[in-house]
Structure 1
Amino acid sequence: MFRYVHTNLIAKDPDKLILFYKKVLHCRSIDEKRDLKGDWVDRLTSLKDSHIKGEHLLLPGYGDDHPTLEIFSYDALKESVAPEINRPGFGHLAFEVADVEMTLSEIIRAGGGTLGEVVTADYPDGVEAVLVYARDPEGNIIELQSWRKKREL
């Protein structure tokens, strides 16, 4: 067996971030909350006395168990570097939505922000995409996208 299971975000305020992803981006709880500590966690993370708490949220548009967005927090957090769209490593989470502008407004009302502008891009076969990058309340980058047939003039 080989399958994609989850993406992990480490949060400063996991409860707030979990609520944001549930409310604004339609992720849902599948009752997979975690409160992890002990020797095996220390060995896995290479951290002494590590303690991890958080929850797995089912990503919208998939089955009843995976893939999930795993939002965790450690008792001891290191200073973070603000995510940037062109920084090597993890870049962004992408969500296909019915209305990019409306979802962006919901993100902003819920404490997130914008990054760049809403754009419309032409793709082959008469398809266009409406796209924007945004930020969740902790600064992680989210891409919103909506696909449709080009409008005839």
Structure 2
Amino acid sequence: MRNEGETPVFRYAHTNIVARDSERLIRFYKEVFHCKSIGETRDLRGPWLDELTGLSGAHITGEHLCLPGYGDDHPTLEIFSYDDMAERGERRVNSCGLAHLAFEVDDVEETLDRVLKAGGCQVGRVVAAEYPGRRAVFVYAGDPEGNIIELQSWRKTDTK
């Protein structure tokens, strides 16, 4: 309970990906994007989980990975698998709902190569765009389970 006048706590905590093979996807994000384990693996089940998820007999396994470039414990990418999973339709960049995860990287082409070697795919072409005082390079890719990832790199340009 908050004391009167205290500001409520709001902070981004995590994004969850439900994976057919959570172990493989966890390895992918560690290898390609330098996400780090924070020691929070999950093997969850019980009445409380059934009530939370609205599923009977729910069982979740997976792990929280700290996203690069931030603190040592948040925000995280939570990658889980359920024993019983519903299939999802084709994911596209213009689908409603959460569309993609974006990572800023030093070199888009080099990171795309790492994505491909680690079992991911390329969705679109590598493009460059000019902004006032900056040049950006972008590409959409997919992780091994088809979740869309945006790779982006930003460089200052001469403003003369």
TM-score range, shorter chain: over 0.9
Q: 1:80 aligns with which of 88, 112, 116?
A: 88
The whole-number CA distance in structure 2 between the counterparts of 1:151 and 1:116 is 28
Indicate the residue corresponding to 1:89 in structure 2: 97
TM-score by length of 1: 0.96
**Structure (1 or 2) with the greater strand fraction:** 1
TM-score by length of 2: 0.92
Q: How many residues align?
A: 151
Question: Is 1:140 aligned to 2:150, yes or no?
Answer: no
Indicate the residue corresponding to 1:21 in structure 2: 29
TM-superposed deviation, 1:151: 6.0
Structure of greater Rg: 2
Indicate the residue corresponding to 1:127 in structure 2: 134
Identity of aligned residues (%): 62
Q: RMSD of the alignment, in Å?
A: 1.0
Displacement over 2 Å in runs of 4+: none
Unaligned runs of 5+ in 1: none
User: 1:59 corresponds to which letter in structure 2?
Assistant: L
TM-superposed deviation, 1:79: 1.5
Question: Is 1:116 aligned to 2:119, yes or no?
Answer: no
Unaligned runs of 5+ in 2: 1-8
Q: 1:11 aligns with which of 9, 19, 29?
A: 19
Question: Is 1:102 aligned to 2:110, yes or no?
Answer: yes
